Amino acid sequence: MDKIENSEYEYLSQTLDALKSIVGELSEKTENSISEITEFNKYLWENIDAMDIEERILGITSNEQYADITNSSLRKIRSLKKSLNSPYFGRITFVPNDEKITKNNDIYIGINTIMDDKGFYVFDWRTPIATLFYNGKFGPVSYKAPKGIVEGKLTGKRQYKIVNGKLKRVVDTELHLDDDALQEALRRATSDKMRDIVTTIQKEQNEIIRNTRSHSLIVQGGAGSGKTSVALHRLAYLLYQDKKANSNNMLIFSPNDVFSKYISGVLPELGEENVLQTTISDFASSYIKGYDHLETFTEFISRYYDGNNITDEQKELYKFKFSKEYKEALDEYIKRINQEFYFKDYVKAKGQSFDNGYMTKMLRNLGNMQISDKIDELAKSICEYLKVPYKSNRDLIRKSLKKQLEPKLNFKNLYNGFLSSEEFVSRFGKTDKIKGTSTLEYPDILGMLYLQFELYGYPKNDIIRHIVIDEVQDYSPLQIEMLRKIFSGATFTILGDVNQTINPYFKYNSLEELVPILGKDSEYYELNKSYRSSPEITEYTNSLIGSENEAARTSGDIPVLVKEVPKESLYTELVSDILTMKENGLSRIAIVTRSNNEARAIYEGLKDDVTELSIVSDEGETYTTDTLVVPATISKGLEFDAVISYNNQDNPYKEDDKYLYYVACTRAQHELVVYNEPKDIKKKVLRKEDSND
C-alpha cells in the first residue's frame, strides 16, 4: 500500500506501550526475586551450622528452583526487549465461521506473544493460527488448535517492516508472502552468524518446521535452500510446542566447530536458548579411550584433498569401510565371536567357586544376546543360587565374571581381530591392522563403536527428545543406525544434500535410502529453491553437477567471471579482486580453496597485503574478520557476499571432486569469480558474453 493508514501507527503505538509496561513489570518482579535469592543465600551461609540436614536440603532445593524460575524470567525479558525493535512482522484477517468481521479478527504475528489484561496484541509465530500467515490463501481455511480444527475465512494478509520501533512499510499480499519483502531479505549482506528467517518462511519450509505427525524427517535440500535454517526454526517450534522440551534435551550434530559457531545466533534471535551441539568425533570420544587423538571427519577427508600420498590400496580400503559389505562382515564377526567367549578359570563369588566349563556352557546357551546381557543373566543366576540380593551384589559378581572371560572385552584388540578375520578378508581380500595408540582413523572409529555397542550394548539415552543431524550426506548408514539405537526415544530431523557430498569414498544416490533405518514413521522432503545465490551463480553451479535448483533471488546482473591466473600473478590478482569487491559494496569475501594446505599458503601470501584477513582451517583457527581464506571442506553451510573460487593448477579439482567444487562455488551470494576453472569438470559455463545474449 502506498499510504500507511493512521490506524496502523496507532496500533503499533499501543503495542509498544503495552510491551514496555510488560517488560517493566516483569523486570521489577525479577529484580525482587534476585534480591530475595541473594538474601536467602546470605541467611543460609550465616545459619547453616544451626540447620539439620533436612532443613539444609529443603532450603537449597527451594532456592535452586526459585533461581531457575528467575533465570527463565531474565531470558523472557531479553526476548521481549528485542521485540521493542520490531514487535510484529505480519497480520492476517481471519473470520471464524458464523462470525462477522471485527477488529478482533486482525491477528498480528511476531517473534513473541504480547498480551496483557486487555487481551492479545501479538501472537507468537509458532502458534497454530500463525500458520495461516505462511500457508493460507484467501477464502476458506482451517488450522489445528488444541481444542480441535478451527474453520473460517482468510480475508487479509499484511506484512510490516518495523525498524527501531518505527513503521517503515506496510504491504498487502494475497497468495504468498510478498516477494519484495523476500527479495529485500535475500539482498542483505551476509554476516558471520546465520540469521533467522522467521519473517520470510516459505510454505514448503513451514510444513517441515511444524510437522509433528512424523517421528523422523529427512530433508534433501540444494545449496542455499535454507535447510539448516529450517532445522533451527523447527527446534524453536518444538521448544514451544513440546512442553517437556528444553535446551538441555535437544541435540544438534554439526559437521565441525566452525559450523556450530556460525549457527549459534539463530535460536537466541528467536528468543530461545541455544541447544546442545556436538560433532560425531566428540561424541565418539566418550566411548573410545586409549588413543591420543580421534581423527575428525574434516581431518580424514583433508588428507585426501591435501594430496597426502594416499595409495590406491588405501583408497580401496576406505571405500570398503564405508560400504554395506563392511557392516555385513562386522555383523558376521560379532555373531561368531559372541559364541566363542569362554571362562578360562573358576569364577569366584561370595566365597564360592563356580566351574569354568559349566559357566562357559551356560554362557553359550544364552544364544545371540549381547555379551553384556549374558553376563547380567549369569550374575542373576549366581545370586539366585547363593540366595543373595542381585541389586547389591551385581557389580561385584559381574567384575568376577569379566575377570575370567576370554577373549577380554578390550575393543581395540577385538577390532584388530576383526581386521584380520576371515569375515574381513573374504570381502576385502586382505587383512588390515590398527597401528599404535596415537591417532585412530575416522573410519575405524565407526567400526570400533559399532563393535563395542553390538557386543556390549548400546548406551540408552532417555534424556534427549529431539535431534538434528546436519550435512547427513557425509554420515554413513552405519552411523545413522547407531545414533538411532542410542537415541531411540528421540525425534530425528536429518538434513543434507547428496550433491554436496565431500567424502571421496562414499556417496548416497538419494537420502531416501535412510528411510528404512529411521523407520516407517519417517517422512522425506525435497527443497529445490536456492535462497542464497543469484540466478547467474545458480545457473553456473547447476551446470557443474546437472542439477535444476531454482534461484529465488532476482537477477544480480553480475555474471560469473572465469579467469586464468598463473602462479606469478596470483597474489596481485587476489588483492585487486578483493579491493574491487569491497569498492562495489560487498562486505564478506572468501577465497575458497580445494585443500587446507592451499588455504594456508594463500593466507601466508596475502596477510601482509590484505588488511584484517583471517583463515579458517581444521587446525583450529576461526575467523574474526570479513575477509577470509577457507578450504571448501569446512565451508559448507557458510555463505559470503562474494567468493573467489581458487583452483591450483598443480593440484586441481578433478572430475571426482566436482561435488567439492560445487560446494566451493555455492558459498557465493552476489558475486563469484573462478580462478583457473577445472578442466576435468564438464559443464556449460555462464560467461559474460552469454549473459548479454
Specify whether the CB–CB gap between 467 and 518 falls below 8 A.
no
Q: Are strands 589-593 and 627-631 parallel, antiparallel or unpaired?
A: parallel
Which pLDDT value is given to residue 35? 78
Of 521, 470, 466, 493, which Cα lies nearest the Cα of 636? 470
Which pLDDT value is given to residue 90? 94
CA distances from 686 to 531, 645, 689, 692 (A): 20, 15, 8, 10
Which helix (H) or strand (E) covers residue 674, if one does? strand 668-675
Which pLDDT value is given to residue 309? 79
Q: Please write the tens of the pLDDT for every residue from 361-415.
A: 999 999 888 898 999 999 999 999 999 999 999 999 999 999 999 988 889 999 9
Ranges of the chain with pLDDT below 50 = 1, 178, 684-693
Which pLDDT value is given to residue 689? 40
Of 601, 616, 608, 609, which Cα lies nearest the Cα of 579? 609
Q: What angle do CA 144, 128, 260 make, to 5 degrees?
A: 125
Q: How far apart are CA 74 and CA 433, in angstroms?
A: 55
Q: How far apart are CA 603 and CA 628, in angstroms?
A: 8
